Structures are given as structure tokens and as C-alpha cells.
Amino acid sequence: MSLFEETKIPAIHQNDPKVNQATWLTWSKEFLSLNKALRQQQLINGKVTSVKIRAYKAGNYSVNLKNFDKDLLNQLKLYAAELCRFNPNQELIFFTGLINRKISGNLLQFIFATLKEIIVAKHKDKFAALYIPLVSGKKISELPLHSDLFVTDILLNIFEKVKIDGSGHSTFLPLNFFLVQILPQLESMPLSISEKITEILTVVTKKDRYDELVNLLYNEKHPWNEELLTLMETHQQRILFTKGEGYLINDRNWLHGRAATNGGILKKRLHRLAYCSRD
């Protein structure tokens, strides 16, 4: 029982030189065959709502599992368990066709919110999985390479409303490469700072250290800012995802980011499901 199955690299990405080693997945045929039952359940449940989580000062998409059809819920529990066992470790996993004729963007949102709810209920831990809405904005925006550092380690990001203007590439860099090949090369960064950054990125803690990390890496006032940005840009892998495409990474093994978008960010640009890998 598997949510996804392997598929070919989409034609538009065949010439992307730096990312052609990724594994491409799409919905499995068996999961797609549930689409009618899922749509019916979505009609019963209504709109997916976002509930605030204080620890992350963010929302979290949620659904009510109480009114679920038992058979469908039991099947989804098996898919959710399989997803939790799916730890890509050092591998880069890409997706295509997750939004298609059978699964709309709204249904994908319902599926992700349901899987999140099932994982949370199974582990009796509200941080075992998160589905955090994107913060939209009108400005040109860029996110340099970073780790989210949520309590969860696996990050599944699927794009929906992407502007087709050739901007806003997703960027990736293996964490190990960053720690071994980039950080020690930075002549303008004191050893104490590179040790601190290494600690933030490698020591697992429940504390939210994202802001601390991003400030140490990218605050323009730091003398290492330019040198670091140049090296990151030289070595990062880039890919421009379209609707229904996206990626799954272990947030502790990969840095990820977004190149500047020409315009703003739409709220439904991205569906991001984060979960803890475990058996």
C-alpha cells in the first residue's frame, strides 16, 4: 500500500542539469482510485480550516475525523503509516501530477490535512505532523537556503498557484556539503559563529531556532554576508516547479530555499505537510 509510485522525469525538466538525479514520484494508481470517495468525504467535511498553533505563531490546517466513513479512514490510516515510514534521508524526491483531473488543489489540501490529522491522532502528539498555511505577500520575495527546523523532520512541499513568469525557483543544497565544504571556507566568519550555526543545524531541540539561524546566516550587517551568499548560489541546485509538482526532503539533511519571485506570493502557492519520520 503506497501513496506514491515512481514516474518519468517530466519533459520540461529533462534538461535541468543539476536536478536530473532526483527520483520523481506521482500518486499511485491504487490511491488515485480513492478519488471519488475522497471527494464525497470532502463534501461532508466542508472547507478545511486553519487552527492557530502558538509555538510557531502560525496556523495549521485541520479536518474533523469524527464524521469520516470508517472504511475510507482505515485505508487512509494505512497510507499515513506508510508515509511516516518514508524517510528520504540524503535523497531528493520530486513529484509531478499531484494536482490533476482527479485530484484538485482543494482535494489535495483535504488529503494533506486528513493525513496530518491521522498522524497526530496516532502518535497522540500535536507536533507529529503539521500543515502550515503559507503567508502570502505582495512584494518580490526570496528565501535564501535554510532548514525549517520544525520538530518534524520531513518536509513535503507541493505547488499549486505558481506564477508562470519563470521566477521563484526552488533551491537545494545538501546540508553535509554546506557544513563541510562551505562553512569552513568562509574567511570572514569567526569560528565561534560557524560552530554555532553547525550546532543549530545538527542538534535536535524542541526550541524554535529558525530566526536565530536565518539571522546568523543572512543578516546583511554580518561581514560574511556576501561571501556566504556567493558560495551558496554557486553550489545550490535549482528547479522551477509548476502546478502539482514539488518535493520531499529530510529537513535535517537538506537546506532548501526559494529564488526571488517577480511579484508577490499567493496564499495557495504551496501546500506544505511536515511530519516526523518513524515506524
Could you list the residues that contact Fe ion (CB under 5 A)?
148
Q: Which is nearer to Fe ion, 69 or 233 (CB)?
A: 233
Q: Closest approach of Cβ 253 to Fe ion, in Å?
A: 14
Cα gap 197→214, rounded to integer Å: 10
Cβ-closest position to Fe ion: 148
Q: Which is nearer to Fe ion, 4 or 254 (CB)?
A: 254
Exposed/middle/buried for 75, CB within 10 Å: 0-12, 13-18, 19+? Answer: middle
Cell 505558481 appears where? 162
Tell me which residue of 264, 221, 205, 271 sits closest to 244, measured CA to CA.
271
| DSSP code at position 95 | E
Contact present, 154 and 274 (Cβ < 8 Å): yes
Q: Closest approach of Cβ 51 to Fe ion, in Å?
A: 21
> Residue 111: beta bridge partners?
none
Q: Closest approach of Cβ 269 to Fe ion, in Å?
A: 13
> Residue 89: beta bridge partners?
none
Q: Which is nearer to Fe ion, 117 or 251 (CB)?
A: 251
Q: Rg of the chain over CA atoms, in angstroms?
A: 19
Inter-helix orientation angle 105-123/35-45, to 10°: 80
> Residue 271: beta bridge partners?
158
Q: Which is nearer to Fe ion, 117 or 148 (CB)?
A: 148
Q: Which is nearer to Fe ion, 63 or 156 (CB)?
A: 156
Length of the chain measured in residues = 279
Q: Closest approach of Cβ 200 to Fe ion, in Å?
A: 14
Q: Which is nearer to Fe ion, 148 or 153 (CB)?
A: 148
Q: Closest approach of Cβ 170 to Fe ion, in Å?
A: 10
Q: Closest approach of Cβ 187 to Fe ion, in Å?
A: 28
